[in-house]
Amino acid sequence: MLSLQEVEAAATAVYAAMPPTAQYAWPLLARRTGCEVWVKHENHTPTGAFKVRGGLVYMERLRRREPTLPGVVSATRGNHGQSIAVAAARVGIPATIVVPQGNSVEKNAAMRAFGAELIEAGHDFDAAREEARRLASARGLAMVPSFHRDLVCGVATYALELFRAAPSLDTVYVPIGLGSGICGVIAMRDALSPATKVVGVVSTEANAYALSFAAGRVVTTNSANTIADGMAVRGPDAEALAVILKGADRVVQVSDREVAIAMRAYYEDTHQLTEGAGAAALAALLQERDRMVGKRVGLVLSGGNIDRPLYLRLLGDG
């Protein structure tokens, strides 16, 4: 696990590119949920999602280790790819990003705008990751994983900010993609707020981490088809799962309908635009409202990157 000192050191690289994000206690969310709700606004980063923090730290350290590296390649549904594109450009390394076919049009456009070569391959994230590995071998590129200690060290800086700004939280709800966010939260919880419970959130349509948490071992699924594309993972990372098993209180599954309701709630109560994964923590809190009444809760709004047609449909009760 990461130490407080490691994450504080990583914050230097993060804050060279962006300021800390805000955390606000929204009164209408408190009325809706029956508890004091602190929202960590990772939708306010330069890429609109928390992942950029990990990319900045990972790429800075990679450049120091391999100053003549010809380029990097990675797979993504969007937010991780944007983070690598931004961070690679800052240190002068070409980036190739592989996304599944039919990926978010607007996320694809953002990755190209940040300077990445974009390749569409495979039917989902796991298939795109296999193509990225093939390209790494064929082109002599460094493969950037979606879960790595340096990535976790970077994204843990948002948890550092949250626990210092909003101490004594009873529970923090965190969406799980491949696990860097929740692992960073667990590390900083252990360092700064050991009494706080950490609850992971997954989609019912991409529930590999929930199944794995229940079984105590990696369990894969055959599909991950959800509007919350940031959580659309079929195969958990074994290292991340080990941290979650040790440090999470529970893993909650939320349906696409619950996610859509939470997206509308965020808009109505805070006027924040959220992507599916970004709204998942609120969806879980609404599902567990009865057990959380009167408590002090943190929600990780992990990102706000969603294509306009989908958002309009969901915002309009679609």
Contact 73, 139 (CB under 8 A): yes
Residue-level pLDDT at 214:
97
- Identity of residue 103: N
pLDDT tens digits, one per residue of 274-312:
999 999 999 999 999 999 999 999 999 999 999 999 999
Q: 318 pLDDT band (50/70/90 cuts)?
A: low
pLDDT tens digits, one per residue of 41-66:
999 999 999 999 999 999 999 999 99
Instruction: Record the pTM.
Output: 0.94
CATH, domain range 4-50+149-315: 3.40.50.1100
Joined together, the tokens standing for residue 292 give 């959380």
Residue-level pLDDT at 40:
98
Q: Which helix (H) or strand (E) holds 313?
A: helix 308-315
Assess whether pLDDT exceeds 90 at residue 78.
Answer: no
Residue ranges per domain, the chain?
4-50+149-315, 51-143
Query: Which segments within 6-159 are labelled E, that is strand?
Result: 23-25, 36-41, 72-75, 95-99, 117-120, 142-143
Residue-level pLDDT at 246:
98
Considering the chain, what is the average pLDDT of its residues?
Answer: 95
Closest among 146, 123, 119 to 135, alpha carbons compared: 119
Residue-level pLDDT at 8:
97
Assess whether pLDDT exceeds 60 at residue 234.
Answer: yes
Q: Kindly report the backbone phi and psi dihedral angles of residue 146, in degrees, each rounded to the nearest multiple of 5, phi listed first.
A: -90, -15
Please count the helices (runs of H) and the strands (runs of E) in the chain. 14, 10
Residue-level pLDDT at 224:
84
Contact 258, 283 (CB under 8 A): yes
Same fold, 4-50+149-315 and 51-143: yes
Closest among 252, 153, 258, 276 to 198, alpha carbons compared: 252
Contact 82, 302 (CB under 8 A): no
Contact 178, 233 (CB under 8 A): yes
**What's the CATH architecture for 51-143?**
3-Layer(aba) Sandwich (3.40)
Assess whether pLDDT exceeds 80 at residue 317.
Answer: no
